[in-house]
Amino acid sequence: MNLNLRHLLSLKLAVLSLAVFGFSALMDAQEQTKPRVGVVAFDNSSQIKDASFGRGLVDALSAALHRWGKYQVVERTQLAALLGEAKLGMEGITEAGAIELGKLASLDAVVVGNIIGVEESQERKSRDIEEWNKDTKTFRKVGTKVWWESNTNVSLSFKMINVQTGELMLSEQLSGRENTNEKNSPETQQRDIGNYTRIGVYTRLASQALNGYVARAIDAATMGIEGSLAHISTNQKKLTAVIDIGSRAGVRVGHRFRIIREDDPIYNRAGEKVGVNETIVAYFEVQFVTPETATGRIVSRKKELVPNAKGKMKNVEVELQPGFTVRRVPPSEGVGFFGR
């Protein structure tokens, strides 16, 4: 390898390293501007008195808040190093006590939770098993199928409190539910899986409720985001499109967008332009996302009357063009909207 080629490769590696370092520094700077929060306690008002239950939900809520992306979440292990494992996650801590712990850990906000209750019920169900009798041309009972329908519900709540002002930043009450059918009786189930596994079930249901809350919050925050139609193509008679916003703007697979054409301008009484008439011409559903763009299918398209070559009016689908505005809407909007 000659000297010039080595020099060129070294230069490219240096530029790449600087770019990676710069991006990492930017991400770190953005992270530092987020409120610094920590889940310091999860009280247990339920009948399930097991310390691992509360500790598990401290971790679950920390993970859910981190996934939200709005907060700089201090993990339980870091808080434990600062406050001591004995203080962290302990039951019976007051909000004032949690705030004091938050100040010791230099947090902007503390999160405290409560396991309100765990409800379980089992109901014996049965139905006859029948078979067709060819001779009598009737059904006859040949047995009985028995099973137990189990319902589990975990109720919990959490609060986020500003450590400086005591202001309530968040307050939510959630439930995690599960309905299952079991072959064995409740007594046999308890003998087979034991109490430790039940704690795992309760923690999983509570975690699902927390993650569901965060997912809904993220989804609501991106409702109404706007971009532009960047590209239209026809692939195997299917119309696909690319829009110029992606995951960095909060776009996710399954999100739905209106495609909007701007028509006539709107003027006020003074003759000043104050806006434009918008026409929804299509709906777009995201199937693939990159940080900067999203690709998907056109799920429905508006038809309009236009004159053909002979001057007769014909109902045709609107031609979509790059530059049309796209605006996020609920997933249910636009299903069968046009051509009804």
pLDDT in tens, 271-312: 888 888 989 999 999 999 999 999 999 988 888 888 877 778
Q: Is the pLDDT of residue 154 over 50?
A: yes
Rounded to two decimals, what is the model's pTM? 0.66
* pLDDT value of residue 257: 94
Q: Which residues contact 253 (CB under 8 A, 6 or more apart)?
A: 286, 287, 288, 289
Q: Is the pLDDT of residue 2 over 60?
A: no
Q: Which residues contact 281 (CB under 8 A, 6 or more apart)?
A: 259, 260, 261, 301, 302, 318, 320, 324
Q: Which CATH architecture has domain 35-221?
A: 3-Layer(aba) Sandwich (3.40)
Task: Please compute the mean of the pLDDT values over residues 160-177 and round it to a whole number.
Answer: 93
d(CA 41, CA 54): 8
CATH 3.40.50.10610-classified regions of the chain: 35-221
Candidate ranges 28-32, 99-103, 218-222, 244-248; pick with highest mean pLDDT:
244-248
CA-based torsion, 43, 48, 52, 56: positive or negative: negative
Q: Reduced to 3 states, what is the DSSP secondary structure of residue 324? A: coil
Q: Does domain 226-329 have CATH number 2.40.10.410?
A: yes
pLDDT in tens, 32-81: 688 999 998 788 888 888 878 888 888 899 999 998 888 999 887 777 77
Label residue 240 exposed, middle or buried (CB < 10 Å: 0-12, 13-18, 19+): middle
CATH 2.40.10.410-classified regions of the chain: 226-329
Task: Please compute the mean of the pLDDT values over residues 155-176 and round it to a whole number.
Answer: 93
Count Cβ atoms below 10 Å from residue 43 Cβ, excluding itself: 20
114 membership: H or E segment, kind and range: strand 109-133
